[in-house]
Chains A and B, each alone.
Chain A
């Protein structure tokens, strides 16, 4: 045991030092009080609904969300729009369907079962419209970036003038949180850009928080039920473990060996 502790201390010291020296050149992301973190973390309904509004009015003109359907907007654990509201949202989009009996494609208003309408027909079209850069699909974006929600939240607020001496090509912008600091997306958010229905002030910070919360839900739509089930499962396991522990003690008391 003594040896074990000695080695453990030495290795953790070595690890600690190297991790620290490694993180010295890493930037700290901005963060905020995310409601969905922690053992009982839940989404803030208001933030999800506002976040959806920011996504539709700002992001969705370039970024697709191909794994989401309009029905998801009314599902439990999500923004929880009423069915009527979700139907109205779906109907506000034109969806290409078909072919019909004449072999023609046609458009109709969206239904709950439809996937979110894509801004571009294909990746090439998206690239052509965005100076060669493909605006990534946002369905799992939060999980696909190292810093997660903090990274997205920071990036949206990370636009600055480039440092002196740095020249940027046309259509390239400086962002202090972007990998390599060069990003092809211009700064999108400005104070008062959207008008929130619930009266919340649409500051850049607020919109960033709301839309990031929405993206987190989009990437993990079952997060709330996961947290709820996890708590129950772990409490159940702990109780069972205690019961089994005492049963074990009782059984082993028949012989003189300790367990």
Chain B
């Protein structure tokens, strides 16, 4: 960022920019050299920024009408749905927006996994991303509690109770989290406060995430280092702005379909029943985006080890840049990794599915196998693969595969893979 030379044309602009280089920043952002071969999987960064802003804006409006009190929370949500002008629209955008946010973040993460975007020199970007993802899960969980329906209440009870697995101090911590001896009004008010706080922490981390990205620049589907600026790059504006905009609009069509036509399909019917501490729902299930981790939690018979397994499943991602020993970034040139990558995708989908099912019989068995494989992938497959795998020859520049003028025969043969 510091290597960017920019002098404003106007005298005032120069005066201002010498004191606060906002114009230099704006110029950096518009000129930012971006690899020209980025595919549509790279548009999800922009989409995620849109999701975050949408959640913050709709959340602010909801907070103006919502009442964080155990006796009034459910009523105030119904008040928003019925009496507040377009309250139903704001709430449905916010509720479905959470799901869309996770849909986008999962695509974003799996794009990173496929193209090796977490590898040197982008480890810090990746780790900040994992922290953002953790905070997103916290925010989503806290937000789900606020309507104070049956799933809110019992979901909060189950998740907070996980802390009781900590030896010696566990019970004390749970009481401290609850602000009492059960999930009740003090729990609700502090959850509301934290739910309001976390998005702004995420916003700050997103700034760092993008800042860290702008130091080495974007990875790309070929996964090689490129000269910037060069024939391999295009300025961010207008090329990437219009492409991100196009992808964002496609995403918004899907989003709008959920909001306007099936606004409740991703939620659980029980959350339209007001919280009742005396009645436990038949099945307590988290929202769909937490199901894979819920499956991991339940597949371990011991409570403490289950919690440890669940947390490790997320934290292991932070160690990924060092677990993956291969020097080649993109899976395009890693024929074996590509197979394992898709097996991992299937594994996570299976975990998500069994997470929604009762933990018994065949489901439990499948969950256990899938959990074991999840860890096997990161702890065994990836480290060994880096040494054993016979990778394909990597081109010297992006222009080479893009123009199809590769002098390398093996490259030409594998050309179809670049479209992946």
Residues of A within 8 A of B (CB): 1, 3-4, 6-7, 10-11, 14-15, 18, 22, 39, 67, 72, 136, 139-140, 143-146, 148, 179, 219, 221-222, 226-227, 229-231, 233-234, 237-238, 240-241, 244-245, 247-248, 251-252, 255-257, 259
Contact = CB atoms under 8 A, between A and B. Distances in A.
B348 to A, nearest CB: 10
A251 B238 contact: yes
Contacts of A233: 256, 260
Contact of B345 (A7, A222, A229, A256): A7
B224 interface: no
Contact of A143 (B260, B269, B342): B269
Contact of A244 (B245, B272, B339): B245
Given A179-B282, A226-B263, A238-B253, 6 more contacts: A14-B350, A18-B353, A230-B259, A248-B243, A251-B239, A252-B243
Name the residue in A72, A148, A227, A255 with the highest tally of chain B Cβ atoms < 10 Å from its Cβ: A255
A10 B346 contact: yes
B349 A1 contact: no
A248 B260 contact: no
B403 interface: yes
A226 B91 CA distance: 12
Interface of B, helix, strand, loop or mixed by DSSP: helix
Given A3-B342, A143-B269, A11 B245 contact: no
Contacts, number: 103
A234 B254 CA distance: 9
B323 to A, nearest CB: 22
B409 interface: no
Contacts of A256: 402-403
A15 B238 CA distance: 43
Interchain residue pairs A-B with the least CB separation, the first 9: A230-B260, A144-B272, A241-B249, A143-B272, A7-B342, A248-B242, A140-B272, A257-B36, A222-B88
A143 B264 CA distance: 8
Interface of A, helix, strand, loop or mixed by DSSP: helix
B261 A39 contact: yes
Contacts of A3: 338-339, 342
B82 A67 contact: yes
Name the residue in A136, A148, A237 with the highest tally of chain B Cβ atoms < 10 Å from its Cβ: A237
A146 B151 CA distance: 13
A247 B253 contact: no
Nearest to B273: A144
Q: How large is the interface on B (under 10, 10 to 19, 20 to 34, 35 or more residues)?
A: 35 or more
A257 B418 CA distance: 13
B241 to A, nearest CB: 9
A139 B253 contact: no
A255 B36 contact: yes
Given A11-B349, A14-B350, A248-B242, A237 B252 contact: yes
Name the residue in B260, B273, B343 with the highest tally of chain A Cβ atoms < 10 Å from its Cβ: B260
Contacts of B92: 226
B357 A244 contact: no
Given A1-B419, A143-B269, A251-B238, A244 B246 contact: yes
Contacts of A18: 353, 357
Contacts of A22: 357
B252 A140 contact: no
Contacts of B89: 226, 229
A136 B150 CA distance: 14
Contact of B353 (A6, A15, A148, A257): A15
A179 B281 CA distance: 12
B171 interface: no
Contact of B242 (A67, A227, A244, A257): A244
Nearest to A145: B269
A163 to B, nearest CB: 22
B37 interface: yes
A148 B250 CA distance: 30
A237 B420 contact: no
B78 interface: yes
Nearest to A142: B272
A236 to B, nearest CB: 9
Contacts of A139: 78
A226 B260 contact: yes
